Structure formats: C-alpha cells, structure tokens
Structure 1
Amino acid sequence: MFENIEWWVLVTLCVAAFGAGLIDAMVGGGGLIQIPALFGLLPSHGHATLLGTNKISSVVGTSFAAYRYAKAIQVPWNAVLPATLMALLGAYLGAYIVTQVSTEVLRLLLPVLLLGVAIYTFVRKDLGSVHAPKLGRSRERVFGGLVGLAIGLYDGFFGPGTGSFLMVAFVVLFGFDFLAATAGAKVVNIACNLASLAWFAPAGHVIVALGLLMAAFNLAGAKVGSGLAIRKGAGFVRKVLLAVVGLLILRTGYDSYGPYLGAWFG
C-alpha cells in the first residue's frame, strides 16, 4: 500500500506534514518542511513523483485553511477570484515550461528576492497591520489577475516561497492586512496546487496512499495554524512571516550557492 516504505519513515513524514500544514496555514512556506522530508527520506523515488505526492498533501491542508479563514474574516474576493483563475492557467503553464528549460537562473535569484521581501517587511513596521485597500474595484480585478498569473507561473515552474510571495503582494500592492492577505493567498494556492496535480497525476507521478496519509496530518496542522493566526492577529502573522522567510533564505541560499562555494573552496 505504501510501496514498501518503512514505518519510521511514514511517522517522520507525517510529523513533517503536520509541521508543514501548521506553518503554511499562517504564512505559507510549508514546502520548506515537507519537500525536503520527502526527498531526504525517499531518495529512490523520482523527483516528479515526490513533488506530485507533496501536492496531494498540500492541497488538502490549504483547502481547510482557506475554509477556516473564509468563516472567520472577510476574504477580499474582488481581487482573489481573478488571481485564482489566472493562477490555474499560470501554474499549469509553469509546470509545462519547467520540463523545457533550466531553472538554474531562477534558483540563483530566489534567495536575493526573498532577502528583499524580508528587509522590506522588517523595515515597514506597520506593514499589513491595517486593512486599507488602495485600488478601485476594477483595478483590483486587473491587478489580481496579473498577480495570479505571475505567481502561478512561478509556482508551477519552481515553487519555494509561493505563499509568502502571494501574501506580500496582497499587502504591498493592494493594501490588505496580513490576515486578509493570508486568506487570499490560501485560495490562490489551492488553484496552484490543483493545476500542478492536473499535470502530475495523469502521468502517474503520485504515491496516492502516502499523499492521503500525509494530507490528514497536514490538515491537522492547518487547523492549528489557521486558528493561531486568526486568534493572535496580523502582528503575530508578520513575525511568523519574517521567521519563515529567513529560513527560506538560508535553505534556498544553501541549495543555490552551496555547490559553487564548495567548488571554489574545494
């Protein structure tokens, strides 16, 4: 059923899925935990299969988090719906493009982009503390579609930090507070995950039983994480965002520049 996966590996993957759901429900970045766990513990499986299995788990937790936010706060649907629709297209195209070209340039740029996000969020102490939309309804829809297309392409093509980029885009470009931005990011993330699954699943790049088992734990983590974010407010979410982006910088920086530094000093 689990393709001869040892029990301790299953337990570790379930713990990782819970942690991923917890973090992802608050600020995104759950892939920082779940994807390295899958790749590290199941090295004999293909990359596409592990990414597809990750998407099964992620889409369940993200869907629950989106539902929880929608019940508790007002989701800015005028911007979020166009972003969601265009993210479906963008993520599917991105998943196709990644099979055609190298991701090396984007891999090297990613830590720099994340560092910019961290510095901007840290310097702007009031960022996302007040919900003050600054675009008219028509411009919100247009900008929402553009943001969804761009970040959907990125998610399908590469992926790390998608939820964090979405949150910051909704806060900076649209004037949403962190809670509204998180709620919107969850909805758009669902579209990205579904579009990626539409590419991976028909090709058989999923371990269904493992994905569903991890999904149960990811959902449990999402329940705890969304509850914490809603209860503690935008200031708490900002602090968690800074912590997660910092970890993403370290992780992606090591992955991107580690081999070059090793070759240089070796």
Structure 2
Amino acid sequence: MLGNVQVENDLQTNYLITEEQRKQYEKDGHLLLRQLATPAIVDCFRPIILSEVHRLNQETRPLEERDTYGKAFLQISNLWEQSDAVKPFVFARRFAKVAAELMGVAGVRMYHDQALFKEPGGGHTPWHQDQIYWPVDTEKTITLWMPLVHVPEEVGSMTFASGSHHRGYISKLEISDQSHKTLKQYIEAEGIPQIGYGAMAAGDATFHAGWTLHSAPGNPTSNTREVMTIIYVADDTRVLEPDTNARKNDLARWMPGLQGGDLINSPLNPVIYREDR
C-alpha cells in the first residue's frame, strides 16, 4: 500500500474521455490527454521512478560514443517487475481504462513498461513502428507516453504520422538511421500529415497505436526529458509466431514460456483493467 489516500484514490478514479476523442484516436492513431495523471500522482511517483532509473541504468558512455539509438534516450524496461514502489503507477486502473476505451476493447493486459529519459543534448528518436518488435496477433495495442516533468516546446511531444496505423506493417526496419531515412521518405512521398503536440506538462499523456509511425526530436535543453511509458495489449490476444529475431527476443523477454498461438497470459502479462472488474 502507498499509504497516501489521495494518490491511491487518484490511481483508481476514472478519467473521462469523450466519444469525439475516441473517434479521433481511431482515425489518427494518436491522441493527447491533458493531466491524465494528477499532480498528486506525479509528485508521489516521479522521485521513485527517477531513483529506480538511476539505480538500474547501466549506460555510462558519454553521448558522443553511442550510436543513434543510444543517443536517443536511457531506456529502462519493466520497472514494475523490479520495483514494488513503481508498480501501483504502472498498474493504475485510471490509465488502463483509458487505453481499453480508446482501443474499443473490454480489457487490457500488460505488455511492458519503459522509462525513456532523453538526456541534455540527447539525439532524436528515429521514425519507427513499435509493433515490428511485438509478436502479438492483434492490431489492438497501445502505448501511453507520459512526461514526469514539464517538456518545453523545443523538446516537445513525439511527432506522429497521422493515420499511418491503418497501413499496418510498413517496414521491418528497427530503430536506426536507416529507419529514419527510409520512413521519412515514405511519409513525405505519401503525403501523410505529421502532427506534434508541442509543450507538455508533467502528467499529460499521449496514446498511440502499435502501428502508428512516430519519431521524437532531440533535447537541446539542459534538463533531462523524463518520460514513463506503459504498453498495453487487448485481453484475449494470442501470441503471433515470431518471424524476426526482434520478435523472438520480445517473446522470450515479455511473454516467458509462451509460444505461437498461446493466449497472452504469462506472469508478466496480468490483466490491468477489465470492464467486469
């Protein structure tokens, strides 16, 4: 138990989304929601997450010695698995219910979480599709992306290629200079609108679909862009037989013991929200 009644209540309290917002997400594959996390939630969990990132981070090289992916952010995955103190945040009913409603499903399970901290002077995040990594037999996947600090205009939200999720699997390219170049050319050649949300406050959040093309700018400021992400998959989804090494690795790490055709229900994929609960 957290011991903070206000925070515990906020984690369970519904965040109301409109039918217009749901339709906007369905159309665009991304959506911004202001103050999804209350100030009490952010004040409680930001120092805990920050402490865990510092404890678990193993990247000690200076930025100039890293490749493009390494310059983009410090990435710490599945904090909930490694820290009981972070778990109530990652398992928040408030967040998961929104994820289910935006996807139009009755329930969602955990895929995994990630802290993505873009350091001062950190590089851009290349264009990519998240779901090329995920061996899940569904299009009903969604990522919550939430800054824990104010993110100014020059750092901004991610940039999304609106409607690109309707095109499904566009490229097998993993996050790299090549993915950025190839997918940028594709987006421009196809005339796909590129949408960013600018400055975001701590506790604001974007949601985007697994197939939505997205990128993020570098960080020219002197402050770290502290972001927490949570990836959800629709309940009753089955494992897709992995067809790439990236998906084989994800299957072993995020759905241990499962194989193609199995229901996604490993100990690392608990139900986070279901309508009848």
| TM-score, normalising length: structure 2 | 0.28
**Structure showing the higher helix proportion among its residues:** 1
* Larger RCO, structures 1/2 (Cα 8 Å, 6+ apart): 1
| TM-score, normalising length: structure 1 | 0.29
